[in-house]
Chain A
Amino acid sequence: QSALTQPASVSGSPGQSITISCTGTSSNVGSYNLVSWYQQHPGKAPKVMIYEVSKRPSGVSNRFTGSKSGSTASLTISGLQAEDEADYYCCSYGGSNTLVFGGGTKLTVL
């Protein structure tokens, strides 16, 4: 199974909004509403920000929203803050009880 495709990097200024895309295929993102997003700060374990495409765990800011269209999922962060600077990974169910991650996107807050 191939990794999901994410942009290597995105950037934005404080207060702005950014969107990170996650492109898969009809075998994963396109067929299941089981896409999650993870935030990882350097030296730390990843933290779930979005699950099942658009659901936010308790305690995650509503500045983080997830969506999906066809085989592409997206994570939008509004009102960018310095603390949002991190690596972001998408993850999708791949059928037959397998999972696949995206390659990761480095978010820089300018």
Chain B
Amino acid sequence: QVQLQESGPGLVKPSETLSLTCTVSGGSISTYFWNWIRQPPGKGLEWIGYIYYTGSTNFNPSLKSRVTISVDTSKNQFSLKLSSVSAADTAVYYCVRDTRGGSDILTGHFDYWGQGALVTVSS
């Protein structure tokens, strides 16, 4: 059974960089698209971006200038960095697998989710 687990600091200061890592167990990180999705408290879901095991990425245009997603296939992990954070970036951050459906495009069919990591931006 595939499992995803987010890890990283739960508190980040304004203007600093938020960093999270997702460890994938029970399956290989090769194949599939690996995504980050966030949810501010009491609000809806927002897609942040994805990475393929080859290193290919794409991001939500609204966040693109501040987001970096990387992958470490040797550790079966992928990571998120979000720079210049503000209180508006306070959210639960989920790492999520997109099935790809056998194609080379995102499908939005997310079959495995991490439990979510709450990151608070505050001084």
What are the interface flags for B86-118 relative to A under an 8 Å C-beta threshold, 1 for contact and 0 otherwise? 000000001000010100011111110111100
Q: How far is the CA of A91 from the CA of B62 in the complex (A)?
A: 17
Q: Is the CB of A46 within 8 A of B45?
A: yes
Q: Of B43, B58, B62, B109, which is within 8 A of A96 by CB?
A: B58
Q: Of B35, B44, B109, which is within 8 A of A51 by CB?
A: B109
Q: How far is the CA of A100 from the CA of B45 in the complex (A)?
A: 9
Minimal Cβ-Cβ distance residue in B for A43 = B116
Minimal Cβ-Cβ distance residue in A for B99 = A51
Q: Of B61, B94, B101, which is within 8 A of A98 by CB?
A: B61
Q: Is the CB of A45 within 8 A of B116?
A: yes
Least CB distance, B75 to chain A, in whole angstroms: 23
B-side contacts of A34, CB under 8 Å: 105-109
Number of chain B residues close to chain A: CB under 8 A: 25
A-side contacts of B116, CB under 8 Å: 45
Q: How far is the CA of A100 from the CA of B62 in the complex (A)?
A: 11
A-side contacts of B58, CB under 8 Å: 96-98
Question: Contacts A97-B50, A98-B61 hold; do A36 and B109 have CB atoms under 8 A apart?
Answer: yes
* Chain A residues close to B by CB (< 8 Å): 1, 3, 34-36, 38, 45-48, 51-52, 57, 89, 91-93, 96-104
A sample of 15 more A-B contacts (CB under 8 A), given A36-B108, A98-B47, is A34-B105, A34-B109, A45-B115, A46-B110, A48-B111, A51-B99, A91-B45, A91-B47, A92-B108, A97-B105, A98-B61, A99-B47, A101-B44, A102-B44, A104-B43
* Chain B residues close to A by CB (< 8 Å): 35, 43-47, 50, 58, 60-62, 94, 99, 101, 105-111, 113-116
